[in-house]
Amino acid sequence: MTRNIELTHQQKRAFQPQKLSAPRNFIIPNIIKDNNSNTLLVLEIGAGKGKHALSFAASHPDKHLIAIERTRNKFEAFTKLFEQQLPDNLTPIHADAIAWTVHALPPNCLTSIYLLYPNPEQHNLNQQWLNMPFFEFLLSRLQVGGTIILATNIETYMDNAVQQATTVWALPNSLHKIAIESQRTHFEVKYLARGETCWELTMTKPQGYKTRFDTWYASTSNINNTNK
């Protein structure tokens, strides 16, 4: 990772990818190894039972979605639905998203990242995506002009996300309420049916954005080296 560069953002705590081990049975999917910027790659973190992932794959045949879910029972439900449909532009991954992202994804490879209804510990701000040092690494995997889409029904979570996106991460962003007929995830269906308001924040990576990890890639770096 490069030192003494002028960062775009104001995040002081540095993420340390070199300290993360690869997930168990880790294999880099061929869509990543063989991609020469011809395929538009999209990442979903926290795919749950795959409702959004399967719908997205069906409606975006020009894109390939990598959908990660850590919880075993949810991933097994996702896999059953995936095997019924077998979309060739969807790759389900059962792993911790942070470790998998560090070891699998090269810089500037993603066109979009979806963070739909994360389940944070509301009293632990460190568990919210935009408060994590890892968010800087995630931005380094995103292409210029690429977007991060965050959705939640927790107003305080969204208020913090908007503030962090603007003041810490220096990301152009837009916020809107999600239409009541939207059905992207099981959580979204449930929340909207109960009459709750759901919000969506879209953050865009601008031209010239600089992070500490813009050239850092685990597959071509010594994972025990800090790349000083």
Per-position DSSP letters for 102-131, written without gaps between them: HHHPPTT-EEEEEEES----TT-GGGSGGG
> At residue 222, does pLDDT exceed 50?
no
Q: Taking 80 as the threshold, does the pLDDT of residue 220 lie above it?
A: no
CA 174 to chain centre: 17
Averaged pLDDT for residues 68-94: 97
Question: What distance in Å separates the CA atoms of residue 22 and residue 44, rounded to the nearest whole number?
Answer: 19
pLDDT tens-digit series, residues 90-133: 999 999 999 999 999 999 999 999 999 997 777 788 889 999 99
- pLDDT tens readout for residues 128-155: 999 999 999 999 999 999 999 999 999 9
Count CB neighbours of 210 within 10 A. 14
Highest mean pLDDT among 10-14, 38-42, 112-116: 112-116
Q: CA-CA distance, 36 to 27, in Å (whole number)?
A: 18
Q: What is the CATH number of domain 41-220?
A: 3.40.50.150
